């Protein structure tokens, strides 16, 4: 299928916009002090996601902001997942962070929770498969980290005789 003029213009505009960011979206900064993978900014985005996905008053009783989800996501990216996943996940975080500027006038991590929840609801809609897939990746990784927190497991009443180590 040949590329249309509209597709060519859209691709050119996207490349120009990416170049115009001074590399902010293409360049991945060094990990934050004490982190293996995530930068300070990415850590803030993960914390904002945890707060939006698991707000205070959720049925488990442990807010996303009450446990260090970003530290666990960083650990998972550095130790548990294939190394090819980390840069893709980091670019996804940056796309969410800066995409919110275009759609909601501010970086995702700096918006109020209701606005972040609205953005995530839009991303979870089935009308855009790539956006929905990105949402699923974010929710899965942040959810894994949140559910792995001892306070969350205790809130669920989960117990194990396995003793494979604490999260």
The answer to whether position 131 is within a domain reads yes
The answer to whether position 1 is within a domain reads no
Q: Is residue 146 over pLDDT 90?
A: yes
pLDDT of residue 1: 46
The answer to whether position 72 is within a domain reads yes
The answer to whether position 19 is within a domain reads no
Of 69, 63, 77, the residue nearest 44 (C-alpha): 69
pTM above 0.85, yes or no: no
Number of domains forming the structure of the chain: 1
Q: pLDDT confidence of 81, banded at 50, 70, 90?
A: confident
The answer to whether position 17 is within a domain reads no
The answer to whether position 83 is within a domain reads yes
Residue 72 tokens, joined? 């666990």
Domain span including residue 93: 40-156
| Cα–Cα distance measured from residue 31 to residue 3, given in angstroms and rounded to the nearest whole number | 39
The answer to whether position 116 is within a domain reads yes
């Amino acid at each position: 299928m040949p590329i249309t003029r509209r597709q060519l213009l859209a691709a050119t505009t996207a490349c120009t916009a990416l170049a115009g960011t001074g590399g902010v979206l293409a360049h991945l900064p060094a990990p934050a002090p004490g982190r293996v993978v995530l930068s300070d900014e990415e850590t803030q985005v993960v914390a904002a996601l945890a707060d939006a996905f698991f707000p205070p008053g959720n049925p488990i009783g442990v807010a996303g902001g009450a446990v260090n989800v970003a530290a666990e996501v960083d650990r998972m990216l550095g130790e548990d997942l294939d190394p090819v996943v980390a840069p893709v996940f980091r670019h996804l975080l940056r796309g969410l962070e800066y995409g919110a500027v275009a759609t909601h006038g501010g970086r995702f991590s700096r918006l109020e929770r209701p606005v972040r929840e609205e953005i995530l609801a839009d991303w979870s809609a089935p009308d855009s498969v790539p956006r929905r897939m990105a949402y699923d990746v974010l929710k899965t990784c942040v959810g894994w980290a949140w559910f792995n927190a001892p306070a969350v497991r205790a809130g669920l009443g989960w117990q194990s005789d396995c003793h494979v180590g604490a999260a």
